[in-house]
Amino acid sequence: MPIIMIEGPPRDIDTKRKLVQQFTKIFKEIYGYPEDFTHISVIIRENSPENVGTNGELLIDRFKK
């Protein structure tokens, strides 16, 4: 069973629904799976800006600038 893992900032439920639908659709197209293939899982991990850092700085602090 293919698994797609996405990490990013928190989003509303409608955005996540769209993300799961589009990633699944594109995955099937690229890998050549038929439309009725139903064994693709998408896992979304949400990371708030205070839990992510880049270049030695938390994202929440970068957004304040």
pLDDT tens across 26-63, in order?
999 999 999 999 999 999 999 999 999 999 999 999 88
CATH of 3-64, one of 1.10.10.10, 3.90.580.10, 3.30.429.10, 3.30.2350.10: 3.30.429.10
pTM of the model: 0.81
Strands 3-8 and 53-54, bridge-based pairing: unpaired
Q: Which residues contact 27 (CB under 8 A, 6 or more apart)?
A: 2, 4, 33, 40
Calculate mean pLDDT across residues 17-31.
97
- Residue 64 is predicted with a pLDDT of 84
- Whether the pLDDT of residue 19 is over 90: the answer is yes
Residues 6+ apart with CB under 8 A from 61: none
52 conformational bin, left if phi > 0, alpha if psi -120 to 50, beta if neither: beta
SS3 4: strand
